[in-house]
Structure 1
Amino acid sequence: MGASLHRAMWCLLSLDSVKEALEMNNTEHGGFTLRVDHASPTNDASRSVFVGNLPYAAEEETLRSHFETYLSRFDVNERDGSAVSSVRIIRDKDTQQCKGIGYIMLRDATLVSLALGLHESKYMRRELRVQKKRAFEGLRATAERSSKKSKVDVKGGDVRNAKRRRSRSEKSTAPGKAGMSKRAATEQKVNKRVKKLQKRATKGMGKKKN
């Protein structure tokens, strides 16, 4: 076990050392970047971006590298630490396979606009969808509200209206003679009447005047 990982685990044994343990966040061990956070992960939407269209094989390390490499070109405060504070890929709890979405928390809010420059960038042959976390969650909340409203409407008056519309539709297409709908039967009657009138008119034109 590496010294850095051992130190992080030791710090967690003491409640008084939580701050020291959190300082181990983003340190490297065995080629991996450690993520040390509170039991309830820090969730600061003001400095986070949503990442969509991730491939199933997405990994935290490669996704972090994808963002850090790009941001390092514009980050004027590199001395303050890594531009990426943490990477969270949403995974299936049973298979641990990536669900196609994740979140990148940045060092500070000023980096958010820069991170948005990675929208439609290629990562493992996929074009990433990068947007502000607040914007994404706002869209999701709107969609959820619309879904709930639709369910309420279906359970309420809209059900009665739907039944009335369906009833009228069924009446207009109720079977008539020989299994025909009422509309078709009416059209057939009209056509017969028109043909009969046409025959009478033709016969009348053929008569000689005295």
Structure 2
Amino acid sequence: MSKNIYVGNLPWSSTEEEVRAAFANYGEVLSVKLIEDRETGRPRGFGFVEMDDQGALAAIEGLDGSNFGGRNIKVNEARPRAERPRW
């Protein structure tokens, strides 16, 4: 099984490789996706990391509130996306 982890308050200069390296200290990283603005293509300062269950729990415990690129990042288990009405 794997868990999807939300990572927030990332510096806009963060790369998927940097995020992967930070999380790899806690277990196997299956995927990293940093979210970009659809219109401008600029980073939005958050993303998602998919890891094995045990590594995910260790990463959440170890990285939540830690300094990453000069910012204290928020790390927790991702919640399912809320349904939004289509206009």
TM-score by length of 1: 0.36
Aligned residue number for residue 59 of structure 2: 115
Give the Cα–Cα distance (whole angstroms) in 2 for the partners of residues 66 and 95 of structure 1. Answer: 27
Aligned residue number for residue 61 of structure 1: 17
Residue 56 of structure 1: how far off its partner (Å): 1.2
Structure 1 runs (4+) greater than 3 angstroms displaced: none
Aligned residue number for residue 126 of structure 1: 71
The answer to which structure, 1 or 2, has the higher relative contact order (CA under 8 A, 6+ apart) is 2
- 5+ long unaligned stretches in structure 1: 1-43, 76-82, 149-210
Residue 53 of structure 1: how far off its partner (Å): 0.5
- Structure with more of its chain in strand, by fraction: 2
- Structure with more of its chain in helix, by fraction: 1
Tell whether the 8 Å contact from 1:57 to 1:97 is kept in structure 2 after alignment: no
- 2:38 matched to 1:93? yes
- 5+ long unaligned stretches in structure 2: none
1:47 counterpart SS class: strand
Residue 93 of structure 1: how far off its partner (Å): 2.5
Number of positions where the alignment pairs a residue of Structure 1 with one of Structure 2: 84
Aligned residue number for residue 18 of structure 1: none
CA offset digits 1:86-135 (Å, max 9, x no partner): 100000134322101100011x222221110210111110111000013x
Give the Cα–Cα distance (whole angstroms) in 1 for the partners of residues 68 and 41 of structure 2. Answer: 20
Residue 49 of structure 1: how far off its partner (Å): 0.5
CA offset digits 1:153-183 (Å, max 9, x no partner): xxxxxxxxxxxxxxxxxxxxxxxxxxxxxxx
TM-score by length of 2: 0.81
The correspondence for 2:50, drawn from 87, 101, 105, is: 105
